[in-house]
Each structure stands twice: as structure tokens, then as C-alpha cells.
Chain A
Amino acid sequence: MGSKQDSRKQNRREFLKSGAAIAGGAALGAASKSASAQLEGPEAYIHGSDDMVAYGSRSRFVNSKRIPHGGRHSPDQFGLDFHIATPLQDQYGVITPSSLFYMGTTRGSYLPDIDPNKHRLMIHGLVDNPLVFTMDELKRLPSVTRMHFVECAGNRANSRMTTVQETHGMTSNAEWTGVLLSTLLEEAGVKEGADWIVAEGIEEVKGASSIPMTKAMDDTLLAYAMNGEPVRPQQGFPLRLLAPGFEGIFNVKWLRRIKVVDQYYMTYNDYGHLTQDPATAALGYQIGPKSVIVHPSGGMQLPGTGYYQVSGLAWSGGGRVDRVEVTTDGGQTWFDAEIRGEPQPMAHTLFAFDWEWDGSECELQSRCIDELGQVQPSRQEVGEFWNTPPGERIRVRGQDNSIQPWRIHSDGSVHNAII
């Protein structure tokens, strides 16, 4: 086995020793400068340096970025309130890069700067064995790695918005690694009648949410990693609770305490999301079936007629995406889109559809059907279901999962077609 490699090394050494390598290199260099048939090279070459060793960076030609959500300045005047939307239009595949993950804060906090070696998680309340874990101890326990989206309750589209970043940028998707909360709750031993947990962060206001025990024991995950590295500070470093498919605020960041309790605790976060209407409350809890066409989307320009791959993202808080349908005639005819990859529960799923644009004005839409049979509605369908009087503006109750229409003008420009 060794002899072949040895002989290769030997040949290489002899070649280098002979001086032919240097002479040949010089000749090649000269040729590339003089030959007019050579293709143009890159703008420049980046020389290796010590600061390129530890952590990579993107090309200076790639400048996609997050923007403040909802037309308000982020951060706010105190410097604590961030609501920033991810550039979906620049994303490929289903993973949101950690640097571009959307962010919404839990009602006002500066970003906690937490030393993971000092961080502790306590589980207590209605349990047989209250427990405290260090981060290292949590990492010793059996882990899971799963794809899940997180979406802000405020990810709501309206007619004044232009781009998909504005209409849908308050959702992002990552691969998360951590310990299932059920693993820890089984360690602690949940007592009879403990129907809720209160999950609490470490930030100034110690954002806390009441989460049903059924969810805590089902698929709730305490994540210490996202996209292959520790969870980012804006996402809850060193530990974030993920309640897959629940509205963003339930996904408690900077998690330090799980209290097992016998009642809904009406925390400040809970109170902030209250509504008077039971249907609205239900629709603002588990996220509904939802999708959006990302290519093409608002603000883009089709260069001309011909073939386009229409593509976008679909997801549901109820489970896996089962199907995605696309229409190019404003909802008259629907076609099955192709699902790319294996849909994961409560995860962004890529869909694509082959389309020939003939140059006429038209309207593209997509709709998601999830594994529970829930179908993403148009705004008109929502209006009809709730008997909205004709002419009255339709407001989607709870979390907005309505179909996003994009209108293609005959000049190829793409526009938000929400009325």
C-alpha cells in the first residue's frame, strides 16, 4: 500500500529538484498574460492572512441583509427592542443562515451576554426530583437534531408592503440540536395534575411563557446549537426552548428555568398575547398551513418571456407539509408544485414549479396543504368563513397564514397584489 505513494513522492521530489517546476510555472504565467483568448479572471485575489483562519466570511459581493420589520425603527429609542426580518428573497434552500435569522425580542430586553460556563438550567415545581444542569451536563444527555422554523406572531402581510422580506420575513428555519424537554421532565418526574410549564429566560424582564404539558412532553426541544454551531445570542445563547409550530414568543430564549405547574400562569408574555375571542386565541397559538412564492416575488423584475422556476417555502405549525399548489392565473387553476427534499415536521419546505411566462399580466399564488389536511386560505376565503361584510377590509384572525398573491405586470415587474 505504501509503495505506490512512496514512488509518487519520489517522482514529485525529483521533478521539483530538477528545476522544471519553476521554469514551467514561469512559462505558464507568461502565456496567460499574452494570450488574448483567455477568459477574464476574478476582480482580485485575496491573500491568505491570519484573520481568515478562525472564522469565515462571505464575499464582499454578497450583501443581503435583515431589515427592521413593520416600518418602525429597530432598535427602538431605548436600544432594546428589535424586530428584524430575514431576506427570504436571497435565500437558497431551507436553512436560514444564522446571521440572517429573523429576530423579535420578548418585550424589551438588551441582549444578554451570557458566559455558558456559568449558565444553569433549573427544573422544579411539581416534580419528584428538582434538578439543576450546567451546559456541559445538558450536552451529555441524549440529543436530537431537527429542522424547525420559528415565526413571529407579527409576520403579517398587508397591501402597503413591497417585498417578500416585508410580507414574510419574520420567519426563519434552522437545524437545531439539543435535548428534548421530555427527557429532562422524565428525569425530574412530573407529578399528577402538572398540566403546564412556565419557561423563563435570564434577560432583564425574564421573559416567561406558559406552555401546555402536552407540548412540553411531545416535541419541545431545549436547543444549544443551531446550524452546526452554538445558538446565536440573538436566538438565545446558550440555551433556547423550541416549541415547534407555536408562535415565536413561546420559543423562550436565554432559558434558565422550567417550572412545572398546575395552571396557566398568565405571565407578562401570556398577557401580551391575550385576545377576547376564543377562535382568534386558537388561531394565534399553533401556526397554520402557510406558504409564499419567493421567486419571483415583489420588487423583482422578470427579464423577459420564457422559462422560470417558480419556487418558494411552505410550512405548518401542525406538522409536515403534505402538498403545495401553485396558480399562475390568480386562483382559477391550481397545479401541484414539486416538493424538494423530504418535508420535516414544523419546518420550512422548499417547493418549485416549472413555468413559461408568455408576457401577459398574471398573478402567481401558492397554497400549502399540511398533513392534517389544513389548507392555506386566501384572504377572500377567510372573509367568507367569518362572514365579513362585503367591502369591509378582511383581517385574518390570529396568525396570518393567508395566501400571498404576486402580480406580474406585462413589463415583467412583480408586485404585491394584496387588496
Chain B
Amino acid sequence: MLLGFVANAQSPTKYGVGRTPTAEEIAAWDIAIAPTGDELPDGSGTADAGAQVFFEKGCAGCHGTNGTDGLAPRLVKRDVGELENAWGYGRILPIRSPYATTVWDYINRGMPLGAEGTLTPDEVYSLTAYLLFLNDVITDDQMVLDKESLPKIRMPNQDNWAQVPDWFPKQPRLQGYPY
């Protein structure tokens, strides 16, 4: 009992409830990748390698052999020819997303469905490269994606989206809009 009080008194927190995670725990849990790519791990991949992974890991089973004809979400931009405004290619992750980091992050956290978290960083870099290649975001299937080059990929919608406004309590949702 006394020990408990001593421990609480030394705790930097007000309530002394909860524990401090280890650095290893944080690293294992932390799968969120910033647009600046801060958390990207070591490793690398190419579209060429990604095409292999796409079949080996069963991606094609749900997304279709071409990434266009499966039950799971389409992975290749709509077949609408060359567009001035890339928004028109559709809400398809590897073409709509303003940052390539979101593509990497989502494959890494959520795929393949039922076996999430089993892909190696190399495989995730390769799959990301493959999807960007299929969408003509990158044109060289030997281009190496890693933690340095991935955040530098310029996505066609990088500056083509609206940030939500700064939010403060008790403010109308849009200044000047009466509704």
C-alpha cells in the first residue's frame, strides 16, 4: 500500500493511472505515416517487384488481375483518357490521394485483408510503386521507392484538395454561410 502511494507520488501524471509504454511497444503500435514520411521504415521496392508481390500475396484475388475487375475497390484510375484535372479519375487511392504516403500507410495497415501486418517493408514499397505505376504516377518500373523517395513523389492531386477549416468550439461551420 505504502509502495503504491510512493509510486503515485513519483508519477508525472495527476492521477497516476496507466503505465508508460516501452519504446519497443510504441514502435510496434505506431503505424501512422505522415505525409512528410517521418515514420517510414528502412527498405525499398520497385513497381517491377510489386507486380510479383501483387500476385504472390493474393491481391489479384480480390482486386482483379488488372486491379480493375475485382470485388474489392478498384486500384487503377478510371479509363477516361488524359484529364487536365486528376480529380476526374475517381476516388481511387493511388490516383486521388494527395500523398503517396497514404497509399503506403493503407497497404501496410490494412492489407491483405485477413493477413494485415504480414507484408514486409520491401513488399509494401514494391506494391506502392506498382500501384503508382499502374496509374501513370511513376513511369519507370525500376524506380526505387524508399523512405527518402516515397514522400517526394508528386501526386497529381497534391495541391488539388480543400483542407478543412481551422476548428474552434461554438463557431458556425462556414463563415458567412447562414445555414
Residues of chain A at the chain B interface (Cβ within 8 Å): 77-78, 80, 108, 122, 124, 128-133, 137, 140-141, 186-189, 198, 200, 204-206, 208, 212, 214-215, 218-219, 256-257, 259, 261, 263-268, 271-272, 274-283, 285-289, 317-319, 371-377, 381-382, 385, 398, 401
Q: Which of A218, A279, A283, A374 interacts with B178 by CB under 8 Å?
A: A374
Chain A residues closer than 8 Å to B51, beta-carbon distance: none
Q: Are A289 and B179 in contact (CB under 8 A)?
A: yes
Q: Which of B83-113 contact A (CB under 8 A)?
A: 87, 91, 93, 96-99, 101-102, 105-106, 109-110, 113
Q: Are B170 and A319 in contact (CB under 8 A)?
A: yes
Closest to A259 in B: B32
Cβ of A54 to closest chain B Cβ, rounded Å = 31
Q: Are B179 and A288 in contact (CB under 8 A)?
A: yes
Q: Are A278 and B32 in contact (CB under 8 A)?
A: no
Closest to B21 in A: A132
Closest to B14 in A: A187
Cβ of A340 to closest chain B Cβ, rounded Å = 24
CA–CA, A137 and B11, complex, Å: 15
Chain A residues closer than 8 Å to B64, beta-carbon distance: none
Q: Are A132 and B19 in contact (CB under 8 A)?
A: yes
Closest to A207 in B: B110
Q: Name 6 interchain pairs, CB-CB below 8 A, sorted by A.
A: A78-B62, A132-B18, A133-B17, A206-B116, A278-B162, A372-B171
Cβ of A146 to closest chain B Cβ, rounded Å = 15
- B57 contacts partner chain A, Cβ-Cβ < 8 Å: no
Q: Are B20 and A132 in contact (CB under 8 A)?
A: yes
Cβ of B17 to closest chain A Cβ, rounded Å = 5
Closest to B71 in A: A77
Cβ of A71 to closest chain B Cβ, rounded Å = 19
Binary per-residue interface labels of chain B (67-93) against chain A in the complex, 1 for a CB within 8 Å, 0 otherwise:
000011000000000000001000101
Q: Are B163 and A281 in contact (CB under 8 A)?
A: yes
- B5 contacts partner chain A, Cβ-Cβ < 8 Å: no
Cβ of A39 to closest chain B Cβ, rounded Å = 53
Q: Are B170 and A372 in contact (CB under 8 A)?
A: yes
Q: Which of B32, B96, B167, B178 interacts with A274 by CB under 8 Å?
A: B96
9 tightest A-B contacts by CB? A205-B110, A377-B179, A281-B162, A286-B173, A282-B174, A278-B162, A131-B18, A187-B13, A133-B18
Chain A residues closer than 8 Å to B58, beta-carbon distance: none
User: Which of B23-31, B42-50, B119-127, B133-141 lies at the binding interface?
Assistant: B23-31
Cβ of B20 to closest chain A Cβ, rounded Å = 6
Q: Are A206 and B110 in contact (CB under 8 A)?
A: yes
Chain A residues closer than 8 Å to B15, beta-carbon distance: 140-141, 187
Q: Are B32 and A265 in contact (CB under 8 A)?
A: yes
Chain A residues closer than 8 Å to B116, beta-carbon distance: 204-206
Chain B residues closer than 8 Å to A279, beta-carbon distance: 174, 177
Chain B residues closer than 8 Å to A278, beta-carbon distance: 162-163, 165
Q: Which of A80, A208, A219, A282 interacts with B32 by CB under 8 Å?
A: A208
- B4 contacts partner chain A, Cβ-Cβ < 8 Å: no
- B149 contacts partner chain A, Cβ-Cβ < 8 Å: no
